[in-house]
Structure 1
Amino acid sequence: MPEHVSIFQQVGVAFLAVATVVWVVGLVRLVRHVAWGTAQPLASLPGQGGPPALESVPLTPDERDAFAGLVRQFSRR
């Protein structure tokens, strides 16, 4: 090793190399797990209850006119 490289730099490079290997191994395992179709949904998350209920609010005639004006304005572009 060159004499101008400190021990902290050497340890840092070694740590980054080990972290990279661990990350790559974990990523490969995750991709294989998903690609093979063995992925299970997380049990701690609740299931979805379906789509949300539709909501509607009655508009006043002025609000309807304003909305129609916006639609006309956007349709010109």
Structure 2
Amino acid sequence: MPAHVSILQPVAVILLALVTAAWVTVVTGILRRRRFQAAARRAHRPPSAPPDLPGLPDQRQAGPELETVELTPAEKDAFAGLIRRLDRP
């Protein structure tokens, strides 16, 4: 080892390599566990179910209630006139 190199430099390199190896090991384990859990969820889901998209919130199964408005005879005539005008080429 050269005389101008402090003992702290090779120790820091070794420590950095160990921390990197530990980080890679932990991240790999987390990704494997998530992949296994996703596969288990897909196996238990009925085939007609939508795909699992974890980034989206759960959707309502039923839509909103239908709203209706009764039109007056004058509004019905105006709407019919509008439709006739739009039907012309």
Please state which band the TM-score falls in when normalised by the shorter chain. 0.3 to 0.5
**Normalised TM-score (structure 2):** 0.42
Q: 1 or 2 for the larger relative contact order (CA 8 Å, sep ≥6)?
A: 2
The structure having more radius of gyration, on CA atoms, is 2
